[in-house]
Amino acid sequence: MFNLIQLPYSVEALEPVISARTLEFHHGKHLKGYVDNLNKLITGTPFEEMPLEEIVRKSDGAVFNNAGQILNHNMYFEQFAPSHPVGEPVEPPVHEPVEGPLMLQIKKQWGSLEAFQSEFVAKGVGLFGSGWVWLSAKEDGSLVITQEPGASNPVVKVLKPLLTFDVWEHAYYLDYQNRRADHLSALWKIVNWEIVEGRY
Ligand code: MN
């Protein structure tokens, strides 16, 4: 049995980048739906005993779609931090990039954090239909940006997933309508680089 993760912040905490209304639907309806579906689908099957990543690597069809979406969303929601102190008026971002091995590798490969961010957003904007844009690490520590369609996750390509933006319309339509690029660009304000560094 898989459980719906608890958000590590309040539903208002990511405003104005992500509204409370979007977060309530995205976490409480969409992600909950995937969790409920997967639990029904795997009851009485060998998948019942497997960790989520293993299910994603070994399944296909509806099991893959629901398990992939749980893995994707868990990593997505857990990589964000409040855009402003709780109870304070909405203010500019407080989360600066952390200088660590990941940031060094990003600068080595892209020249600057801004150049990396620009390519990452472009790949998200350029992904046709629903899916996810990911930063992942190869076994040798080098980094790669991939576009994953639907429910897929870089673990199926033997990559270590580090950071992701959800480009399904349910992630941004209430707040940004068709302006996917504006939404993706705004997400940098709430990325918790400590978490992302920790995954590297
Ligand atoms: Mn989503």
* 27 C-alpha to ligand 1 centroid (Å): 8
Q: Report the domain count for the chain.
A: 1
pLDDT at 86: 54
Contact in structure between 162 and 98 (CB atoms under 8 Å): no
- On whether residue 13 sits in a domain, the answer given is no
CATH number at residue 89: 3.55.40.20
In a domain, 195, yes or no: yes
User: In the prediction, which pLDDT does 98 show?
Assistant: 81
126 CA distance to ligand 1 middle (Å) = 17
- Structural domain includes residue 35: yes
Amino acid at 146: T
User: Which CA distances in Å does 199 have to 18, 69, 185?
Assistant: 23, 19, 22
State residue 33's pLDDT score: 98
pTM listed for this prediction? 0.94
Report d(CA 83, CA 95) in Å as an integer.
Answer: 8
Token readout for 35 is 């969790």
**Up-side HSE of residue 1: CA atoms within 13 Å toward CB?**
2
- Which residues fall inside 5 Å of ion ligand 1, going by CB? 166, 168, 171
pLDDT of residue 88: 56
Predicted pLDDT of residue 91: 53
| Cα 108 to ligand 1 centroid, rounded to whole Å | 31
CA of 151 to the centre of ligand 1 (A): 9
Give me the pLDDT at residue 94, please. 54
Spacing, Cα 53 to ligand 1 middle (Å): 18
Is 5 within the bounds of a domain? no
pLDDT for the residue 95: 64
Residues of the chain with pLDDT under 50: none
DSSP H helical ranges for 31-98 = 32-42, 52-58, 61-78
pLDDT of residue 82: 85
Domain range spanning residue 78? 19-200
83 in any annotated domain: yes
Ligand 1 mean position, distance from CA 21 (Å): 14
**Confidence at residue 97, expressed as pLDDT on a 0 to 100 scale:** 81
